[in-house]
Amino acid sequence: MFDFSPKQLEVQKTVRDFIAEYVTPNLKTIDEGDVPDSIFEAWHKTGLVCLVAPKSVGGIELDTESCAVVLEELAYGDVGIATAFGANNLGSYPVLIAGTHEQQVQHFTPILEGKYASFALTEPNAGSDAGAVATTAVKHGDEYVLNGTKCYITQGKYAIDMDSSLVMFASTDRTIGNKGLSAFLVKGGTPGLSCGKVEDKMGIRGSQTVELVLEDVRIPASALLGAEGDGMKLAMKTLDSGRLMVAAQAVGCAQRALDIAVEYVKTRSDGGKPLTKQQSVAFKLADMESSVTAARLLVYRGAKLKDNHQPYSHHSAITKLFTTDVAMRVAQDAMDIMGTYGYTKESGIEKIWRDARILSIYEGTNQIQRLVISGGLLR
Ligand code: CAA
């Protein structure tokens, strides 16, 4: 559908080979929440462990279009694995946007060694309202002291256990709302930082979602990303990028559901009539294919806008809204076509349906995307 460059096609093949060898044979184990270490090790060996790491720190610095290719292919294999691996990109955007060279070296070195980064924004009372973060960062001499609780943080326990890098959002002045939000680089092993509850999730069980507790976490003043008060803009710019990658995952997820449904239809008959000859099934497949095609076009259009340094925030919200609804609908349609078999674990669709549900929730719910889109229209 697209004129991918030879390099992009090579990246696509690398991910497809990785999925076929390491993920597909382990889907049941992954869905039980147990990701074999061999998967992380093999992913590290692909060289794709952090897609956005700049060349100046030894990274591969992929363009956004190539990043979308990777996330689409990963999610075709397993949305949970795509989410887990994607955390290194999400957790890196603030450092790319605002980090000094020293901060970038500190952040990317462990990640390029195969460790996991985390983006820690959400809190029990600050989910959709990102500006309501209650974690505080108080300056004492040449240190900040952080206190608070974060929740639903992807790969957070890995980041702590591996002494990797977390981008932590905290308020340096709670009297001025989101203008007091600031972002910090925190090392996983810093005393006072611990992992609380590990969530037992409905889907994307190949990724880890945890609570983080900060009790008098002392970090050097030099860990501040940008200036005090830059946090809200950094978080929003990060999510503009992240939402495009969630959309790429949605396309991969939807494509997988469609492919499973097509295979099923080709091999089944009902009442002596092949499913391929049943118009109600054919119409559903046509709608699924049309939606996936439109969703993919939105993703790669967004990636192009970003790569060409054009405004893409509005487009990113539209893309996440549309594609993630497509993923859920296509998974549901595939299950409808497959009937009770689709409801069984053996069918593969049941898991995709559970995985697809998160896509319109994390990195900003689709209700938030509607606010962003309508806000852009009405401004
Ligand atoms: N780029 C740059 N700056 C932006 C921006 C963008 N895309 N969007 C907003 N801003 C700026 C605004 O210009 C404004 O700055 P000024 O005051 O200087 O003009 C500032 O940020 C605040 O903007 P708003 O007034 O629009 O902010 P708001 O409080 O009304 O909230 C919101 C806007 C869209 C609702 C926002 O809070 C939001 O996106 N919420 C969703 C949060 C979210 O997506 N969380 C996901 C967490 S991560 C995750 O899920 C991953 C995981 O690991 C599970």
Q: What residue spans of the chain are helical by DSSP H? A: 6-18, 27-31, 37-46, 64-77, 79-90, 93-98, 101-112, 156-161, 231-267, 279-307, 313-342, 349-356, 366-378
Report in angstroms the alpha-carbon separations of 92 from 86, 99, 154.
10, 10, 13
Taking the CA of residue 42 as centre, how many other CA atoms within 13 Å lie in the half-sphere pointing to its CB? 16
Rg (C-alpha) for the chain, rounded Å, is 21
3-state SS record for 119-150: EECCECCECCCHHHCCCEEEEECCEEEEEEEE
What phi and psi values does residue 33 have, to the nearest 5 degrees?
90, 15
Are 81 and 23 within 8 A, CB to CB? yes
Q: Which of 131, 114, 122 is nearest to 167 (CA)?
A: 122
Read off the tokens for 72.
């689409």
Per-domain residue ranges for the chain? 6-112, 118-227, 232-378
Are 336 and 215 within 8 A, CB to CB? no
Which of the residues 73, 123, 350, 363 is marked catalytic? 363
Are 359 and 327 within 8 A, CB to CB? yes
* Ligand 1 atom nearest to 152, measured from its CA: 54
Confidence at residue 3, expressed as pLDDT on a 0 to 100 scale? 87
Are 149 and 185 within 8 A, CB to CB? no
Are 163 and 122 within 8 A, CB to CB? no
Pick the CATH number of 118-227 from 3.40.50.1240, 3.10.20.90, 2.40.110.10, 3.30.365.10: 2.40.110.10
CA of 235 to the centre of ligand 1 (A): 7
* pLDDT in single tens digits along all 379 residues of the chain: 678 999 999 999 999 999 999 999 999 999 999 899 999 999 999 999 999 999 999 999 999 999 999 999 999 999 999 999 999 999 999 999 999 999 999 999 999 999 999 999 999 999 999 999 999 999 999 999 999 999 999 999 999 999 999 999 999 999 999 999 999 999 999 999 999 999 999 999 999 999 999 999 999 999 999 999 999 999 999 999 999 999 999 999 999 999 999 999 999 998 899 999 999 999 999 999 999 999 999 999 999 999 999 999 999 999 999 999 999 999 999 999 999 999 999 999 999 999 999 999 999 999 999 999 999 999 8
Q: Where does ligand 1 bind, in terms of residues with CB under 6 Å?
A: 119, 121-122, 128-131, 152-154, 178, 232-233, 236-237, 239-240, 313, 362-364, 368, 371-372
Confidence at residue 105, expressed as pLDDT on a 0 to 100 scale? 97
Report in angstroms the alpha-carbon separations of 221 from 72, 90, 103, 141, 145.
38, 23, 12, 8, 9
Topology (CATH) of 6-112: Butyryl-Coa Dehydrogenase, subunit A; domain 1 (1.10.540)
Confidence at residue 1, expressed as pLDDT on a 0 to 100 scale? 66
pLDDT digits (tens, 9 = 90+) for 61-75: 999 999 999 999 999
CATH 1.20.140.10 assigned to domain 232-378? The reply is yes
* Ligand 1 atom nearest to 153, measured from its CA: 53
Nearest protein Cα to ligand 1, atom 8: 236
Task: With H, G, I as helix, E, B as strand and everything else as coil, classify residue 171.
Answer: strand
Task: With H, G, I as helix, E, B as strand and everything else as coil, classify residue 64.
Answer: helix
Known active-site residue 199: no
Q: Which of 145, 38, 153, 160 is nearest to 84 (CA)?
A: 153
Please choose from 93, 119, 201, 236 the residue to mutate so as to test ligand 1's pocket, defined by most ligand atoms within 8 A of CB. 236
Burial of residue 223, with CB atoms counted within 10 A of its CB: 0-12 exposed, 13-18 middle, 19 or more buried: buried
> What DSSP state is assigned to residue 365?
-
DSSP per residue over 21-46, as a string?
IIIGGGHHHHHTT---HHHHHHHHHH
State how far the Cα of 53 lies from the Cα of 89, in Å rounded to an integer: 8
- Given the structure tokens 């591969």, which residue do they identify? 60
Confidence at residue 2, expressed as pLDDT on a 0 to 100 scale? 78
Beta-strand pair 193-198/209-220:
antiparallel
Nearest protein Cα to ligand 1, atom 14: 233
Confidence at residue 220, expressed as pLDDT on a 0 to 100 scale? 98
